[in-house]
Amino acid sequence: MKPMLLIVAAIVAFGSILARADGIDTEHLFGFTIGTDVGELGEKELESNLLSRLGKRAGSYSALSQVLSLEYTTNQNLRLEVSAVGAYHDIAGVPGLDDRRRGAFDGLSFDIRYRILDRANAPFGLMIDAEPRWSRVDEVSGEPVDRYGVDLALVADKELVPNCIVAAFNLIYLPEIAHSRVTGIWSRQATIGLATALMAQIGPDLFVGTEARYLRSYDGLGLDGFAGHGFFVGPTIYAKLSERSWILLAWSVQVAGWSVDDPGPLDLRNFERHQATLKFGFTF
């Protein structure tokens, strides 16, 4: 009899969680993946994103970027965002990279998200995202450069269990050109990839889940000149702190891949061994 009572109690508790849920908002729910929600009409939000990229084949490598963003939802399907970025590199004894310990203002970006399908009125959500950016620091080496690029994504998400479990899928293309202010050389590269995430609500204001990404790097803006690929996977946790604030922590580790220029396992030339992000947002 007792096992039956425990099962009933668990069902009642789970049902109470769902009953208190007011629909899942995927705007900031994922760490490295994007959701299709864009916020409420007229909503303004300040967001902080600290991204850490750690570990190369040898030596000591850490690259940090701090992004501060101001977001505004202009209508029910369109969100605009402007961001300022700071970068810090701590590199010692990494083959192919100069030793460097330096922080600098990195650049600016402008993000446009347009939702094509709303999950409330369609079988799934669908959105396009475009983020042109200008940077002053090479992402990998920390070398002074002028970088111009755009992050493009086709985004879909769906609630697998209403108000409880949600999945997201991103198709991404990240082309960029860069001019070294040290050597004067121009370079072109692109990254394409797939990202997916699954998050489950375990409390009224708490989600946990996992994210996976497959990324391919190319020397050139097209899909020729293959340079390497990596597969990343890791956990994500999201908590709503109040009606106006939230926090997210996600960690991702490269578990498979290889580089054309490096015979060892994993692609630690174009990517890192570990990536982690800590995000915080406040609506006003």
Q: What are phi and psi of 91, to 5 degrees?
A: -125, 130
Judged against a pLDDT cut of 70, whether residue 14 lies above it is answered with: no
Judged against a pLDDT cut of 90, whether residue 18 lies above it is answered with: no
Whether 162 is covered by a domain: the verdict is: yes
Listed residue (103, 31, 30, 93) closest to 63, CA to CA: 103
Whether 15 is covered by a domain: the verdict is: no
How confident is the prediction for the chain on average, in pLDDT? 92
What are the tens digits of pLDDT across the range 70-81? 999 999 999 999
Total Cβ atoms within 10 A of residue 86:
16
Rounded CA gap, 267 and 229, in Å? 6
Q: How many domains does the chain have?
A: 1
The arithmetic mean of pLDDT across residues 132-142, rounded, is 97
Kindly report the CATH number assigned to the domain that includes residue 279.
Answer: 2.40.128.130
Structural domain harbouring 97: 24-283
What are the tens digits of pLDDT across the range 140-177? 999 999 999 999 999 999 999 999 999 999 999 999 99
Structure letter (DSSP) for residue 214: E
Contact 235, 262 (CB under 8 A): no
Whether 203 is covered by a domain: the verdict is: yes
Whether 47 is covered by a domain: the verdict is: yes
Whether 83 is covered by a domain: the verdict is: yes
Rounded CA gap, 168 and 171, in Å? 10
User: What pLDDT shows up at residue 22?
Assistant: 57
- pTM of the predicted structure, to 2 decimals: 0.89
Whether 9 is covered by a domain: the verdict is: no
Where does the pLDDT of residue 222 fall: very low under 50, low under 70, confident under 90, or very high at 90 and above?
confident
Judged against a pLDDT cut of 80, whether residue 2 lies above it is answered with: no
Where does the pLDDT of residue 23 fall: very low under 50, low under 70, confident under 90, or very high at 90 and above?
confident
What are the tens digits of pLDDT across the range 42-93? 999 999 999 999 999 999 999 999 999 999 999 999 999 999 999 999 999 9
Whether 5 is covered by a domain: the verdict is: no
Which two three-digit tokens encode residue 125?
């959500």
Question: Regarding predicted confidence, which is higher, 21 or 190?
Answer: 190
Whether 259 is covered by a domain: the verdict is: yes
Which two three-digit tokens encode residue 220?
């050139």
User: What pLDDT shows up at residue 224?
Assistant: 86
